[in-house]
Chain A
Amino acid sequence: MASTHPAVQVAIGSARDLVQARQRGRELAGALGFSSTQATLIAAVISELARNIVEYAGSGEIILRADGDSGMVIAARDSGPGIADMQAALRPGFSTSGGLGLGLPGVRRIADRFEIESGTTGTVVTLTMRRR
């Protein structure tokens, strides 16, 4: 099943690319059998992650792929300056951009699996959603 749905990569260079990223996410979620409700949640999460890329790193990419028979992986990758204080970034209500976005805790809460790697060469946020 996974082989029939190749990974999708969407370049994020500005806020204009968000619409495309979440549409591609919704399409893949639909193709993988996610309900329209879950596909909407996935689209919203992609929007938040892609906006983080624009806001904190300038550019990067969203990578979407199937995970086994019942999951979807959403990864956001950038080559920005990295997250200086990871513990703070994962604390609800924390923001260095004036609290405009949802923040990582909001995204983490709805993910079945959440991983983040950040260093001086960039940040990768990877989350897995399971079909219900």
Chain B
Amino acid sequence: MAVPILKQGDTLIASIQSALSDADLLALRDALVDKVAALRIRGVIVDVTALDVLDSFASRTMRDIAHMIGLRGARTVIVGIQPEVAFAMVQLGLTLEDIPTALDLEEGLSFLARRR
């Protein structure tokens, strides 16, 4: 299932709407990296509120997205990690390393605005 990506000014917002397969996650990564260059994007928000789990593959793909977008000169914020998803990640020893996270979309937007 494709993830809708909205453009608001120089920010992209990817709102995950349901559980994603590995292929869906890779398609999201590729779409975001392409759009950052094509649309002169400065910030990207990935909203994972609706994601059922962040397992090792999803965690690694989020890290890859943030690093690739960082190399293109834009910033990524992951927002909406649910409490139970956070609990499972910690229990399993999974991390997003240095990717900024925020509580929700609003917090993510203000995080990006502060870093202009």
Contact = CB atoms under 8 A, between A and B. Distances in A.
Interface string A59-88: 000000000000000000000000000000
Given A16-B23, A110-B91, A110-B92, A40 B85 contact: yes
Interface string A97-112: 0001110001101100
B58 to A, nearest CB: 8
A51 B57 contact: yes
B10 interface: no
Interface in B68-86: 82-85
Contacts of A107: 92
Chain B at the A interface: mostly helix, strand, loop or mixed?
A: helix
Contacts of A39: 84
B93 interface: yes
A19 B21 CA distance: 6
Contacts of A41: 84, 87-88, 91-92
A44 B55 contact: yes
Contacts, number: 74
Nearest to A92: B93
Nearest to B55: A47
B56 interface: yes
A19 B88 CA distance: 16
Contacts of B88: 37, 40-41, 43-44
Contacts of A16: 21, 23
Contacts of B93: 102, 106, 109
A26 to B, nearest CB: 7
Contact of B22 (A18, A102, A110): A18
7 contacts: A16-B23, A18-B22, A40-B87, A44-B88, A47-B57, A100-B60, A102-B56
Interface of B: 19-23, 52-57, 60, 82-85, 87-89, 91-94
Given A43-B88, A47-B53, A102-B93, 18 more contacts: A16-B21, A16-B23, A18-B21, A19-B19, A19-B20, A19-B21, A40-B52, A40-B82, A40-B85, A40-B87, A41-B84, A41-B91, A51-B22, A102-B94, A107-B92, A109-B91, A109-B93, A110-B91
